[in-house]
């Protein structure tokens, strides 16, 4: 592997090197109190640091009324100020998105009533989720 020196390695070295190549997603949801909010999806590598200046990632993300459930369309759900929409699988519910240069995507959320919602995102087959309660005035 190109990221390992051509020398004898310990098990710990190999584990560290391999896991640093593993990406995972962090999701967080912010409520704005006016039936809108935002989900931030950030890609990290296993050491916990972000990736910048490198490749962009393609992430599938959807919103639902239950955790790990199929998409449920809301009043609005779409790419905000960071990232770019690649495909719309279901309007206001299910998208494939391209991350920004910092490996982040912002998804805007709008509901028709205060409730708890879940945002899921998938990369490399693994699904990550977060939940938040979006409230109204």
Partner 1 sequence: MADFVGNQKIVATDLNAALQDVIPYLVLTGTDDGGGGTGDCAIQVKDAAGNDLAERFLIHTWIADAEYSEPDAQTDFSVATGEEMDEVEANADYLAIADATGLVGMDIENAGGGTVYVMAQIDGRIYSSGAISITA
Q: How far is the CB of 57 from partner 1 (least distance, A)?
A: 14
Closest contact distance (angstroms) between CB of 49 and partner 1 is: 17
Q: Which helix (H) or strand (E) is 19 found in, with range? A: helix 11-19
Residue 7 near partner 1 by CB under 8 A: yes
Interface of this chain with partner 1, residues 47 to 66, rule: CB under 8 A: 60, 62
Tokens read off for 24: 């995972």
Number of residues forming the site for partner 1 (CB under 8 A): 24
Separation between Cα atoms, residue 16 and residue 47, nearest integer Å: 8
Q: Distance between CA 82 and CA 50 in Å, rounded?
A: 15
Q: Does 85 bind partner 1 (CB under 8 A)?
A: no
Rounded CA separation 56/112 (Å): 33
What is the smallest separation between the CB atom of 17 and partner 1, expressed in angstroms? Answer: 9
Integer CA distances (angstroms), 98 to 12, 40, 60, 132, in order: 33, 13, 9, 23
The smaller minimum CB distance to partner 1, of residues 9 and 116, is found at: 9
5 binds partner 1 per the rule CB under 8 A: no
Find the Cα–Cα–Cα–Cα dihedral 130, 132, 134, 135, rounded to 10°: 180
Select from 14-22, 30-38, 72-80, 109-117 the region that touches partner 1 (CB under 8 A): 14-22
Residues that bind partner 1 (CB under 8 A): 7-11, 14-15, 18-19, 22, 60, 62, 68-71, 89, 94, 122, 124-127, 129
């Amino acid at each position: 592997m190109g990221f390992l020196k051509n020398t004898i390695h310990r098990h710990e070295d190999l584990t560290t090197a391999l896991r640093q190549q593993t990406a995972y997603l962090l999701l967080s949801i912010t409520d704005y109190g006016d039936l809108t909010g935002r989900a931030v999806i950030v890609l990290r590598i296993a050491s916990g640091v972000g990736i910048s200046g490198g490749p962009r990632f393609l992430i599938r993300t959807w919103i639902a009324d239950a955790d790990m459930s199929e998409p449920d369309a809301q009043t609005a759900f779409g790419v905000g100020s960071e990232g770019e929409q690649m495909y719309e699988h279901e309007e206001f519910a299910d998208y494939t998105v391209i991350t920004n240069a910092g490996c982040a995507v912002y998804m805007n959320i709008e509901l028709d009533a205060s409730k708890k919602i879940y945002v899921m995102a998938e990369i490399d087959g693994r699904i990550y989720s977060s939940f938040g309660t979006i409230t109204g005035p």
